[in-house]
Structure 1
Amino acid sequence: MKFDKRNVALASLVFGWISIFWNVYDQLIQSINTYSFALEPYESGWILAIDNIVGLFILPLFGHFSDRCKSRFGKRTPYIYVGTAISLIGLCLVGVFASERQLAPYIVSLTVTLVAMAAYRSAGLSLVPDFVYEPDRGRANSIANLVSVAFTAVGIVLAMAFMPLKAAKNAQFLPICLAVVGSSLITVAAYSFTFSEKRVTDDFNRRLEEYKRDYPEKYKSETVVVEELDKQQMKGNLFNKIFILASVFFFYIAYNALVSNFTVYSDVMLGFKMPQLPLVFVIIGALPGFIFASHVAKKIGRKYTITIGLALMMVALLAAMPFSKKDSGLKLKIPLVFFFMVEGVGYGFAMANLYPFYLELSKAKNIGQNTGIFAGSTTAAMVVTPILAGYVIKEVGKKTGKTYVIEQIVNGVNTEVVKVGDYSVLFPYCAVAILVALVCILIVKSDYATGGLRDHMKKYFTKRKAKKND
């Protein structure tokens, strides 16, 4: 079937404004908790976990609702528009109350924002798979992730421009919130004028039925129809899905701990005046990762592509540790930048394949629900990891006697708050979680569903031999 690259890119604009929001959110909330309210990492972790606690229930539920929606705009679009509107209003209120250092209203407005985000996240994630042929979902996911990376870069630029360290220490958070709202509205407008969910999905379903009718054997060989599996295969299918979700869980244990703590880590451990700067190098590395992820997966399978990605991430985290010093010169900063880029490549390889790897083992009629379950596993990780990482940072600090200093500027007066904690434990914490994710993905059995490395290599050499004989 023809791969609709244009509409995949346009539908992925939803990932665009979601990516802007989440990238800024991870930096913003950590900065607010630290510089507006001087919270401990452990206390901050509880606030960072709010969205994920909410998401555990809302993501699968609203994914299920969107599967059964019969709106004239499509299944996903109504949830996307309403959720976006509420979340952006809530974000403005977050900026207002954080700037005024009012903790209770800040938490309430943050909760409203996050409920709205969770309500449309499953619908947004399900939009692209709804009109992409199953074997092409890895390719589509790579495009969606490239769009996401591009808009993540926008989020980083916005944070650098509207939330520099000085502004954060002054509790000036409304400008960055308004910048996110403005950029999101522009992206929403671009999506609305260029993409029609109903038209695109109807056209895809028509073409799919024609393809199944005209090429039944080819269709059967290219896809896994979960509904047609026997009992033994269904057991294997469930086994695979459980361990993919487990791998996703630990992947996000690492990823969320890194991202949500990186603003403070970059300040107290690396001494960067622009705490977002190292993330730029991760994004640069992620670009080739996403570009080549689907091509590599076609050669060796999604399982082993994810394995390579996770291995790269783990090695990069461990290798970066000796160079993570606040007063280090350029000689130490260059290797650090290199390892951040390697981290990005690994992230791209893993991220581009985890979601389609899970979806291909799911029933076609329940894409939204299964997307909600997949997102639920990421959400569960993000409930645990802010609290756990904060606790580990604090407890290790107690044992090692290490402290760090948080600077606040209140009414023009510089104030230093000394906190107990050891942020040097962040990279090892993430590396251990990635290792567990790696073990989980290796346990997944690549049989009828995805084809293991051996199957792919066998097909590859068979094709080469056939060409040579011709």
Structure 2
Amino acid sequence: MKYSMSKTFLLGFGFFGVSVIWSVYNAFVPVFLADRYLMAAGFIGVFMTLDNIASMFIQPVIGAWSDRLRTRIGRRMPFILVGAPLAAVAFILLPLSTSMWLFFLAAVLLLLSMAVWRTPVVALMPDITPSPYRSQANGIINLMGGLGAIIAFLGGASLYDMNPAYPFYLGAGLVLVGAVLVFLFIREPKIESGAEQPEAKKGDGGSKSALRDILKNLAIVFTSKEKSALMILLAIFFWFIAYNGIEAFFTLYGQNHLNMTASDAARLLGQLSLPFVLFAIPSGYLGAAIGRKRTIMAGVALMTIGVAAMYLLPVETLVISLTKLPVLGNVPVVGAIMMGLGVAWSLININSLPMVVDMTDDDHIGTYTGLYYFFSTLAAILGPITYGVMVQLFGNRYDLVMLISPIFFFAAFVFMSFVRRGEAKKQTAS
């Protein structure tokens, strides 16, 4: 198996489609719920966690199922060809719904269909990429995902002003284009027939077998004498709690602590996102050059320091304007910190999935991809809830978000220090 950068870019269109869908969903569905259906903020918060709840339970099972499946077009492709079109249809139906119940049903169809194909499309990256190049390939995949988010936010905002349904049409169209490109240009490697193949072909409970497989591998992770897989999964859990807590409350932090407008606070999040996208590919090459563990731990350390600085520095210092940049606009001190956090987050995010999948063999890549998403999604559910309770307990002090997060980042750093496996494997001649 040879590494092909061009194929990785083409595969990235699948993740591009996923990113467009979720970016449009997160940006505009809360507006529909509040303005069209007059839903209270608390219920909107619950509604917006449904995608993470669905993903947490479905994606690991789908990942394990795709490991077992054998078809003429591959083991991942059937999930993509079913899930992507269903997601596009559901996404179009969302803005066209005339009642809350229809909106809810369309959202449920979207969440289920997205959960069906996200893990298989991500698992395709290590399937077609030799171990030594997986960090670089993941950088390309995340670059494409970041471009999808930028197009969704910038293009979607303009389209929304024309017609609230247009961003959803854009997302549906792009996700179909991405799926078609993956199907046409990506060929899955041949998997040797094994003892489990007949069971997968019969269709007599493939999902049940997959559930048993994921539970078996989860038990192995927890009971194995060598704890590297457990340590990195716990590290992933803690750094995603920290990151998701910041993301969920950053706008309110900007409004209530920095005395900014909501739009200026949201713009600061863009000042994190763009450096993440720009540094996605270099982060992969850095992980290959100095080691994935070292790169991740450097990123976690930088996140800890940067977020702590936002708590320790006085507001008067944080809001000092440093410069104006194209696309990013005005960059205050806190914006410069956010740009540094974007680079640090790329060091972590680009190299962690390759570490996880290189702790197993090629037959269980989907299963371990599912475990990665289980722990990160569980954190995405618990993070905002934990932060919300803490902020409320201390009298709506949103600056405490920047005190709580370094604690979780430090915990992730400690767990990562115990990881002993997951570096790139030596490539064998094919």
Give 3-state SS (helix, strand or coil) of 2:72's partner.
Answer: coil
Report the CA distance between 1:118 and its aligned residue.
0.8
Q: Work out the CA distance in 2 between the residues paired with 1:275 and 1:337.
A: 10
Q: Work out the CA distance in 1 between the residues paired with 2:170 and 2:264.
A: 18
Residues matched between the structures, number? 383
Q: Deviations over 1:101-149 (max 9, x none)?
A: x544433322221111111111011011111112221221122122222
Structure 1's unaligned 5+ residue stretches are 206-230, 401-420, 452-470
> Is the counterpart of residue 317 in structure 1 residue 310 in structure 2?
no
Q: Deviations over 1:208-238 (max 9, x none)?
A: xxxxxxxxxxxxxxxxxxxxxxx9xx9454x
1:428 to 403, 410, 413: 403
Give 3-state SS (helix, strand or coil) of 1:273's partner.
Answer: helix
Report the CA distance between 1:283 and its aligned residue.
2.3
Shifted more, 28-37 versus 116-125: the winner is: 28-37
What is the match of residue 230 of structure 2? 242
Report the CA distance between 1:248 and its aligned residue.
1.0
**1:15-414 to 2 correspondences below 5 Å:** 15-32=15-32, 37=38, 39-40=40-41, 42-97=42-97, 102-163=99-160, 173-193=164-184, 195-198=185-188, 201-202=189-190, 235-237=224-226, 239-262=227-250, 270-273=260-263, 276-321=266-311, 322=313, 328=319, 330=321, 333-393=331-391, 395-396=392-393, 399-400=394-395
Tell me if the contact between 2:274 and 2:342 (Cα under 8 Å) persists in the aligned partners.
Answer: yes
Tell me if the contact between 1:62 and 1:372 (Cα under 8 Å) persists in the aligned partners.
Answer: yes
Provide the TM-score with structure 1 as the length reference: 0.72
Q: Which amino acid aligns with 2:40?
A: L
Q: Which amino acid aligns with 2:175?
A: S
Structure 1 residues 255 and 137: CA distance shift in structure 2, 3 A: same
Structure 1 residues 266 and 70: CA distance shift in structure 2, 3 A: farther
Q: Work out the CA distance in 1 between the residues paired with 2:331 and 2:39.
A: 29
Give 3-state SS (helix, strand or coil) of 2:271's partner.
Answer: helix
Structure 1 residues 298 and 333: CA distance shift in structure 2, 3 A: closer
Q: Which amino acid aligns with 2:242?
A: A
Report the CA distance between 1:320 and its aligned residue.
3.4
Q: Which amino acid aligns with 1:94?
A: L
Give 3-state SS (helix, strand or coil) of 1:181's partner.
Answer: helix
What is the match of residue 215 of structure 2? none
Structure 1 residues 137 and 81: CA distance shift in structure 2, 3 A: same
Give 3-state SS (helix, strand or coil) of 2:359's partner.
Answer: coil
Q: Which amino acid aligns with 1:179?
A: L
Q: Work out the CA distance in 1 between the residues paired with 2:387 and 2:104.
A: 21
What is the match of residue 4 of structure 2? 4
Report the CA distance between 1:307 and its aligned residue.
0.7
Give 3-state SS (helix, strand or coil) of 2:415's partner.
Answer: helix
Structure 1 residues 263 and 431: CA distance shift in structure 2, 3 A: same
2:417 to 436, 442, 445: 442
Q: Deviations over 1:368-405 (max 9, x none)?
A: 11111111111211222233333334x14xx43xxxxx
Report the CA distance between 1:16 and its aligned residue.
0.7
Q: Work out the CA distance in 1 between the residues paired with 2:251 and 2:96.
A: 21
Tell me if the contact between 1:240 and 1:444 (Cα under 8 Å) persists in the aligned partners.
Answer: yes
Report the CA distance between 1:3 and its aligned residue.
2.0
Greater Rg over alpha carbons, structure: 1
Structure 1 residues 156 and 355: CA distance shift in structure 2, 3 A: same
Tell me if the contact between 1:93 and 1:109 (Cα under 8 Å) persists in the aligned partners.
Answer: yes
What is the match of residue 404 of structure 1? none
Provide the TM-score with structure 2 as the length reference: 0.79
Q: Percent identity?
A: 22
Q: Which amino acid aligns with 1:296?
A: L
Structure 2's unaligned 5+ residue stretches are 193-219, 323-329, 425-430
Report the CA distance between 1:344 and its aligned residue.
0.6
Q: Deviations over 1:300-321 (max 9, x none)?
A: 3211110111122222223234
Q: Which amino acid aligns with 2:147?
A: A
Structure 1 residues 337 and 441: CA distance shift in structure 2, 3 A: same
Q: Work out the CA distance in 1 between the residues paired with 2:289 and 2:225.
A: 23
Q: Work out the CA distance in 1 between the residues paired with 2:335 and 2:287.
A: 27
